[in-house]
Amino acid sequence: MGLGMHLGAWRHREGAATDYLDLDYYTEIAKVAEDAKLHAVFLSDTLALSEENLQRPNLGALDPVVVLSALAASTSRIGLIATSSTTFNEPYNLARRLASLDQLSRGRAGWNAVTTFVPDVAANFGTAALAEHDRRYEQAEEFVDVVVALWRSWLDGALVGDKAGGVFADPARVHPINHAGDRFTVRGPLTLPRSPQGHPVLVQAGSSERGRALAARSAEIVFTAQNTLAAAWEFSRDLKARAQALGRDPDDLKVLPGIVPIVGSTRAEAQHRKAELDRFAGDAELVKLAVRVGVPVSALDLDKPLPVELIRANTEFNASHGFRDAAVRLTEEEGLTVRELLYRNGGGHLQVVGTAEDVADELATWFTSGAADGFNLMIDELPSGLCRFTDGVVPLLRERGLFQHDYTGRTLRENLGLRPPPDTPENP
């Protein structure tokens, strides 16, 4: 969430460019989403100012936990999911911060655990070079284990709260975690008891081999870039099989592909909206695609397919495998030109340009075929694109019995159909 997923949104939309710093703006969006009974607000995180961030408002410039904490006060049912890096945080601080949000929101928090691959960020944290991809994931695994163990360090009923008897907590139900691993040494316990949902919902977004392994082991939601139904279906099947092989119930892991809906009252109007957004973006979407696939922008020709061999030849590639692989696959399977790819692949995610019916059809197909358990909406422009979705697409999905008329539970975990964490201490 920011001024919109589309890089031209800030110039196309009504409202000031400074809205991305304004709490009223975020509150309006959260309330529209909550009125429509969407499950959660999901915020990204950016730990450096890149050159690109001087060209337009930056998704993630504000600390997402700060924004979501403010939204905890102005909403009551919608989930609040913050992205936060396992590469540049201390696990105790992060566990406590998310647990605090979970308490104040009465069990509506989620944590999207990401590894960070941006050299601009490393320069802000005294790290000369970033660890290569697999090493980042090794660290992420240990980090996630520590955070979850801290979240479970108070068992249910540990907070007694007996004022008359003077018994605040039951020490027998509060456990240090005594973690001493390769990268972290953390004694615990956390400063906070379990929240109404046990602990924040654990979200991950890795699509590489290591990313999938981590997700299968611990994620409850997986956010993924999938541009074709077949690829999404395969990805979901693979992830759930891995989870099952580790003794988990595959239903405990929900796979949510990202989707960029560009909705119009007619297809022509939707295409016009996209063309206007594109006009304001200039070549920014092309530059972003080049970075995502790891080649210079000069290697891309709008009227030719992606240079797949050149992409594969880049052995230094250290960024998100999910985005790169989705773009390559779409190119190879459908023979798209870069121009066509940009149309279908909105900033790396599936883009659907059309009427509310078109979008509802696409979502329904993915959902009913088992390619998706739901979707992460990447709204083109905020709040207008969200209103087009909630006013147009949501009612159609409800008619088809595919979307909730109201929240079914009080916590994010309940609303997502996820089970509470076990009531046992978990030492990593």
Q: From the list 110, 188, 257, 322, which residue makes contact with a second copy (rule: CB under 8 A)?
A: 188
Give me the DSSP letters along 231-242.
HHHHHHHHHHHH
Residues 349-388, interacting with a second copy (CB under 8 A): none
Indicate the residue type of 228: T
Instruction: Give the shortest CB-349-to-a second copy separation in angstroms.
Output: 23
Residues 190-209, interacting with a second copy (CB under 8 A): 190-193
Backbone angles phi, psi at 159, to 5 degrees: -90, 105
Q: Which is nearer to a second copy, 116 or 236 (CB)?
A: 116
**How many residues line the site for a second copy (CB under 8 A)?**
75
89 binds a second copy (CB under 8 A): yes
Distance CA 326, CA 319 (A): 13
The answer to whether 45 is a known ligand-binding residue is yes
Name 174's bridge partners: 154
**Contact range with a second copy by CB under 8 A, out of 100-108, 214-222, 300-308, 388-396:** 100-108
**Contact range with a second copy by CB under 8 A, out of 94-102, 133-141, 297-305, 318-326:** 94-102
Instruction: Give the shortest CB-194-to-a second copy separation in angstroms.
Output: 10
Indicate the residue type of 380: D
Instruction: Give the shortest CB-166-to-a second copy separation in angstroms.
Output: 6
The answer to whether 407 is a known ligand-binding residue is no
Between the alpha carbon of residue 50 and those of residues 55, 296, 355, the distances in Å are 9, 17, 35
**Contact range with a second copy by CB under 8 A, out of 40-48, 202-210, 266-274, 322-330:** 40-48
272 binds a second copy (CB under 8 A): no
100 binds a second copy (CB under 8 A): yes
Q: From the list 4, 10, 133, 201, which residue makes contact with a second copy (rule: CB under 8 A)?
A: 10
Between the alpha carbon of residue 61 and those of residues 20, 43, 71, 108, 155, the distances in Å are 8, 10, 16, 22, 36
Residues 138-177, interacting with a second copy (CB under 8 A): 159-164, 166, 168-169, 171, 174
**Contact range with a second copy by CB under 8 A, out of 59-67, 219-227, 307-315, 408-416:** 59-67
Instruction: Give the shortest CB-108-to-a second copy separation in angstroms.
Output: 11
88 binds a second copy (CB under 8 A): yes
Q: Where are the alpha helices (DSSP H) in 282-344?
A: 284-293, 308-313, 321-334, 338-344
Burial 82-92 (b: 16+ CB within 10 A, else e): bbbbbbbbebb
- Angle formed by the axes of helices 229-245 and 356-368, to 10°? 40
The answer to whether 301 is a known ligand-binding residue is no
**Contact range with a second copy by CB under 8 A, out of 72-80, 130-138, 263-271, 331-339:** 72-80
Distance CA 252, CA 280 (A): 42
74 binds a second copy (CB under 8 A): yes
Find all residues with CB under 8 Å of 215, minimum gap 6, and list them. Answer: 204, 206, 222, 239, 242, 253
Contact 110, 223 (CB under 8 A): no
